[in-house]
Amino acid sequence: MTVPSRVPMYEHGKLYQLQKQEIDDAVRRVIEKGVFDWGDEVAAFEEEFASWNGVEHAVSVNSGTAAIKIALLAANVGRGDEVITVPNTDISSSSGIRHTGADVVWVDIEPLSRTMDTQALRRAITNRTKAILPVDLFGHPANMPEIMDIASQQGLVVIEDACLALGATIDGRKVGGFATATCFSFAPKKHLGSYGSGGAILTRNGAFAERMRKLSAYGQSRHRHRSNTTVAGNTGLYIEEEGSNEQLDELQAAILRVKLRDFAQTLGTRRNQAARYSQALRNLPLDLPNCLEGFEHAWRNYVLEHDDRDRIRLYLSNNGVQTNLSYSPPMHLQPVYRSMNKGENSFPVTERSCSRLFGLPIGPHIDDEQLEHVLQTLHNFFGSH
Ligand SMILES: *Cc1c(COP(=O)(O)O)cnc(C)c1O
């Protein structure tokens, strides 16, 4: 038996207790109705999610991984194309590109935001480049205004991986309003977490949304499917695309609708916690996470950097504080991509960040007393070392 941490990274059961009645009601409503796919909950969630983000269309899917792949497919990315992304991210940003048949081109990051270096992006564009896939790492948006300028000059599509950045803003505008399509994850550990798996894509383009909906639902139009199955004796299949089965399910949609209602509060808690961390740690010899001028962070992760991160993590762990290593080592150094021949020193800024970073617990499952324990433990480490 492992002893539970005094300050865990995640505690889903505790978050459930905070909304138990509403979640129970939502789950019971779906089960009693007996509609688990092609139902009203998914459609309602999409409408509410689009409206929360101030973007015209939301297409829900069953993971962030699916969101990235479906958005690329709907943009006609495929064999012979190159898509530019960064290596310090989830596997899905790279594998999603390769699953379309296209080639991944990684570029380095800029150190303060840990997102795509736009100079490196400019240098990486070739006549095969079809799309740019920036990642809003840890909740800090990539430099979307500049990336969109580059894309429009070069006629490129932009698929933004905002799986960690729901609620983040640039000059007061929420992410989701910039790119051709913006992808989100509702994995349980994301800051809007489902009770299984989920994802969504935002877009301003109605035809693009409709195409993504079909691609994620067997190539069938939802509208047609739903009207077809409510009349007596349906009129048979009507498949318009070679789609996959990657729709969000009704139970997850119902749960996410409950959690979305409280999401602004969740974000507020995270922002307060991040501010408290940064204020209390500013005098320690740690590289604190930045938030660039004009950007508002979603604080899905609070990620510090230090040369001695392994010793710090061990000390924290011995004192009941969990930490994690998000997206370290980077993708170009993973066994799966050995054949791409991008060894060490290919992306020095990324490698330095990934070798020094560690994440602290953050989120509404942490109370003030727990947060102060994290701070005290870090102060003790530096006081005694
Ligand atoms: C979580 C995550 C994904 C994948 O989302 P899943 O829902 O786990 O498939 C993709 N990109 C980033 C940056 C993520 O954090």
CB atoms within 10 A of CB 206: 10
- Tally of CA atoms within 13 A in the half-sphere of 83 that contains its CB: 34
Predicted local distance difference test score (pLDDT) of residue 5 = 87
Residue 134, both tokens: 């920036």
- Distance CA(39)–CA(21), nearest Å, equals 22
* pLDDT tens, N- to C-terminus, the chain (385 residues): 556 789 999 999 999 999 999 999 999 999 999 999 999 999 999 999 999 999 999 999 999 999 999 999 999 999 999 999 999 999 999 999 999 999 999 999 999 999 999 999 999 999 999 999 999 999 999 999 999 999 999 999 999 999 999 999 999 999 999 999 999 999 999 999 999 999 999 999 999 999 999 999 999 998 888 877 655 667 788 899 999 999 999 999 999 999 999 999 999 999 999 999 999 999 999 999 999 999 999 999 999 999 999 999 999 999 999 999 999 999 999 999 999 999 999 999 999 999 999 999 999 999 999 999 999 999 999 996 5
- Distance CA(322)–CA(10), nearest Å, equals 9
pTM assigned to the model = 0.97
Closest-CA residue, ligand 1 atom 6, reads 64
Instruction: Please name which of 309, 296, 304 lies closest in space to residue 270, comparing C-alpha atoms.
Output: 296
Q: In what order do the strands lie in the sheet with 173-174?
A: 173-174, 169-170, 295-296
Distances (CA, A) of 338 to 135, 271, 335: 22, 38, 5
CB 7 within 8 A of CB 374: yes
* Whether the CB of 269 sits within 6 Å of ligand 1: no
Predicted local distance difference test score (pLDDT) of residue 233 = 65
* Whether the CB of 64 sits within 6 Å of ligand 1: yes
**Ligand 1 centroid to 340 CA: how many Å?**
22
Beta strands in 126-209 (DSSP E): 129-132, 157-161, 169-170, 173-174, 181-185, 199-203
**Ligand 1 centroid to 163 CA: how many Å?**
5
* Whether the CB of 136 sits within 6 Å of ligand 1: no
* Whether the CB of 350 sits within 6 Å of ligand 1: no
* Whether the CB of 364 sits within 6 Å of ligand 1: no
Only one residue has tokens 């990274």, namely 9
Q: Phi first, then psi: what are they for 143, rounded to 5°?
A: -75, 75
